[in-house]
Amino acid sequence: MNKRILITGGAGFIGSNLSRKLISLGYDVTVLDNLNSQVHGNDPAFTSPLFNTLPKEVLFIRGSVTDRKLLEGIIAEQDAIIHLAAETGTGQSMYEIERYNNVNIGGTALLLDILTNKTHRVKKMIVASSRAIYGEGKYYNKKLGAIFPNAREDKNLLAGNFEVTYPGCNTPIELRPTDEESKIHPTSVYGITKQVQEQLVMTVCPAIGIQPVAFRYQNVYGPGQSLSNPYTGILSIFSTRLLQGKSINIFEDGLESRDFVYIDDVVDATILGLEKEEASGMVFNVGSGIPTTVIEVVKTLMQAYDVVVPVKISGNYRLGDIRHNYADLTRIQEKLGYEAKVSFKQGIANFTSWVKSQELSADRYDESLQEMKEKGLFK
């Protein structure tokens, strides 16, 4: 493959790290990013460690994936597109529905419309999908086999019954790693938009001679992630509160779990998808394959920062959140030779060391929860 690469959303957490690696490998990288203030602050030149770590060799263009004229001028000379641009945040998506759809679905549709109807030389397109499309993920029951529970009901959460249930199932259900053949049934607007992004790319690209690849990223973390975005990223949110001496509110019972995958592993997986022919036409999970509970996250962070603050396991919950999900990595291991190399312990050590070197912005987490509460989505 020739080496002119467009990364949409390329000044974000994944994109900025990916840009640096691609430049080091000899790629010619163009980054398109609108420098959303929610992620980059009000003055990115001073408030965004992500934007400021883009290599000088990158051609940076400030703009939106919803701008047809801008996209048409950029796409024509690219050999591949890595489409990362998206509004992120499960909770926020539940009340900023139009914005999430306009950017995530509309921007992807516009990219594909241009690729279908304009002259270009793009041969591969990678889309950043998400574990959010799986909803509550995969479980197992001795009588029924593999099952895929629906979203948890408000009445059960309100009563403190946080684990998932399955209709007509009177025997225990066991959490399993979620593979790529699992049921797609997102529980949030964000998850729906990522599902549609993926399906658009995987459907349209083969029809117009472009090789598509979709990566369903789990919870990506590491040095460089936004510390100012109060809507997503519990490692950043908890870190900010810990270092400012504020209490931690752990939702539900603290036993909800996520698959945390270190940024370097995500970058490596994405480049494998770009460079390996075996990736073409495929969908892959990208994670560590290990679930970590929220209680474990808080304990690990307090130990790493050597800070103790009041911690309350409140029973609060957000509608749209899932209980558990972690990735089955069999496909990406067998097809692309991917392995998650950075353990959670080492990754947290790297992350917290970086956080200590940053100037923390005002904590707006309580404000974000109040927004959700006013919409009836946080209880």
Q: Which residues are identified as catalytic?
A: 190
Q: In degrees rounded to 5, what are phi and psi of residue 129? A: -90, -160
DSSP string of 82-134, one letter each residue: EE------HHHHTT-HHHHIIIIIIHHHHHHHHHHHS-----EEEEEEEGGGG
Q: Which among 92, 94, 90, 100 has a CA at the least distance from the CA of 367?
A: 92
Q: In degrees rounded to 5, what are phi and psi of residue 286? A: -130, 115
- Lookup result for tokens 């609108």: 34
> What's the distance, CA 94 to chain centroid?
16
Q: Which among 19, 36, 125 has a CA at the least distance from the CA of 81?
A: 125
CA distance linking residue 366 with residue 362, whole number of Å: 11
223 neighbors 116 (Cβ within 8 angstroms): no
Q: Is 159 in a helix, a strand, or coil?
A: coil
249 neighbors 314 (Cβ within 8 angstroms): yes
Q: Is 378 in a helix, a strand, or coil?
A: strand
